[in-house]
Amino acid sequence: MSWGGPEFVLAIIAISTLGWLASSWIRARHGYPLENEWSGKTYRNEVPAETREVERLSGENGEMRAQIGRLEERIRVLERIATDPAGRTARSIDSLR
């Protein structure tokens, strides 16, 4: 085989391509992100950790807003009880019995 011939160049290209394919396959198999041609990351069947964190925080934010709404309603009731005259509060309590 001639070192300067086209077969040697084609062999190097083939070895490089097979190495790249094997590397990509191993990375994908074990869940590592693949690099695309613009140095970006491509995830396969997996949501990035940042996205999961944003979704978790959004859900927690919604739960806290609902809890704050319930607490505000309870505070309104307590304020009404505290500011109403005693007679009207007693009649309201007796009507609930």
pLDDT in 10s for each residue of the chain, 97 residues: 567 778 888 999 999 999 989 988 888 787 777 777 666 666 656 667 788 888 899 999 999 999 999 999 999 988 888 888 877 878 888 888 8
Tell me what pLDDT residue 90 has. 81
CB of 15 within 8 A of CB of 9? no
CB-facing half-sphere around the CA of 25: CA atoms within 13 A:
6
Please give the C-alpha separations between residue 50 and each of 33, 47, 53, 94, in angstroms, as whole numbers: 14, 8, 5, 55
Residue type, 43: Y
- The pTM score is 0.44
How many Å apart are CA 65 and CA 79, to the nearest integer? 21
Structural domain boundaries in the chain: 1-46, 49-97
Tell me what pLDDT residue 62 has. 94
Tell me what pLDDT residue 39 has. 66
Tell me what pLDDT residue 43 has. 62
Closest by CA position to 42, among listed 31, 50, 51, 57: 31
Tell me what pLDDT residue 20 has. 86
